[in-house]
Amino acid sequence: MSTVTQSNQSRHRSGSMSAPRVAIAGVTGAVGQELLKILAERSFPVGQLTPLASARSVGKQVEFGGKRYPIQELTEDSFRGVDLALFSAGGAQSRKFAPLAVAAGAVVVDNSSAFRMDPAVPLVVPEVNPEDLAGMRLGQPAIIANPNCSTIIMLVPVTPLHRAATVQGMVVSTYQAASGAGAKAMAELEQQTRDVLAGKPPVCVQFPQQYAFNIFSHDSDVGPAGYNTEEMKMVHETHKMWHAQSVAITATCVRVPVMRAHAESINLQFERPLSEAEAYEILHAAPGVTVVDDRGANRFPTPLHASGKDDVYAGRIRSDIAGDGGMSETGLNLFVCGDQIRKGAALNAVQIAEMLL
C-alpha cells in the first residue's frame, strides 16, 4: 500500500480530514517551538506528532498536549504516514527533504525561502491571497511556501489598502529583531548585552558585528545593485502574492537590538486618493490587524506590544506631505509591528494548514 493511500484512509467519508498526522522539521528552533505552541493554542487536530531536528537533538524531548515525545533525526524515512509536514529547519533541509515528504504523501508548509519563488508553489498569507490555495487540501501532496517574515508583516495591513485604492508604489524600511535570525541570534543579543554592560568585549558569532547597542544593515547577502536578499524578497514576494509585477517597491532592511517582533515604516502611493479617515476605517476592519494610533497620547505600535501577539499592529496613519505642494491624498505613511515568529512564520503556517483540513 502506498503512503498516499494510507493518507487518504484518514479522511472522513465527507472528504474532510480529521486528526492529521503532523511532522515538524526543525522542532527545537525558534519557529519550531512556536509551531508546537500555536498548534496547541488553536486546538489544531493532531492525530500523531513526529518532532524532527538534527542528530544533535536526538535524546531530547518535546512536550505537546500533555505528552512527551522523543525528538527524532530528520532523515529520508521521516515522513512515512505523515499527512502534514511543517518545515522550519532552514533552506538546505527543505530543499533536500520537502520533496521526499511530498513523495511520501504529505502536504508540506515550508517556512524557508527554498520554494517561495517556484512558480508551481503557492506563496500564501491567508489574509492576502487565500485564493492561491483553492482546491488544495491534506491528502493531496504538495508544497506550499510561507513568505518571508518581513513581507508577511508588511502585507497583512497593506493588502486591504491595496484592495481599496491600488498601491502603485511602496517604500519600506524595516527595524528587524534578533528572533528573525533564530534562537542562537536571540541568545547572542542577550549575552552581548550582558557582556557590554559588564565592560567585557562582546563575542560576535551569529552576526559579523556587535549587535547589542548597535544597528546594522540586514545580514543577508548584498547583490550587485546594492540591495540585500531580505530587501529583494520583500519586492519579489509581494509581486507574486499580489499577482502584480508592476507595483514599484523599494526596501531597506536593518537589524535593531530588539529581542522579538519586527517594525516597519511604510510609505504607500495609491492610484486614487485615500484619506487618513478611510485608511483608518479599512485597517480597523482588516482581519489580522490591530490599529494603535493615538496621536494625543503619542501612543503607536511597538515591538514589545506586538510580541507574542497574533495581529500585526498598525499606526502612525498619516497622509504623505511630500506630494506636489504639500499633503497628498494619494500618499500615506504607516508604522507597523508584528511578531515575526508568530504571524511572520509559525502562525501563518498553521493558518494555512487549517485551510487544508
The one catalytic residue among 218, 253, 262, 337:
262
Q: Which residues share a beta bridge with 58? A: 60
**Residues interacting with ligand NAP, by CB under 6 A?**
26-32, 53-54, 56-57, 74, 88-91, 93, 111-112, 149, 179-180, 182-184, 340-341, 344-345
Identify residue 161 by its one-letter amino acid code.
L
**Using an 8 Å Cβ cutoff, are 248 and 284 in contact?**
no
The one catalytic residue among 12, 149, 218, 284:
149
- CA dist., res. 333 & res. 331, Å (int): 7
Q: State the minimum distance, in angstroms, from the CB of residue 21 to ligand NAP.
A: 19
Q: State the minimum distance, in angstroms, from the CB of residue 32 to ligand NAP.
A: 5
Q: State the minimum distance, in angstroms, from the CB of residue 61 to ligand NAP.
A: 13
Residue nearest to ligand NAP (CB): 29
Which set of grid coordinates corresponds to residue 265?
Answer: 515604516
What number of CA atoms fall less than 13 Å from residue 177's CA on the CB side? 28
Annotation marks residue 243 as catalytic: no
Give the closest residue to 254 by CA, choosing from 219, 225, 212: 219
What does the H/E/C string look like for 41-59?
HCCCCCCEEEEEECHHHEC
Which set of grid coordinates corresponds to residue 168?
Answer: 502603485
- Taking the least distance from each CB to ligand NAP, the nearer of 113 and 330 is 113
Q: Which helix (H) or strand (E) segment is 317 a member of? A: strand 312-323
Q: State the minimum distance, in angstroms, from the CB of residue 260 to ligand NAP.
A: 9
Annotation marks residue 337 as catalytic: no
**Residues carrying an active site annotation:** 149, 262
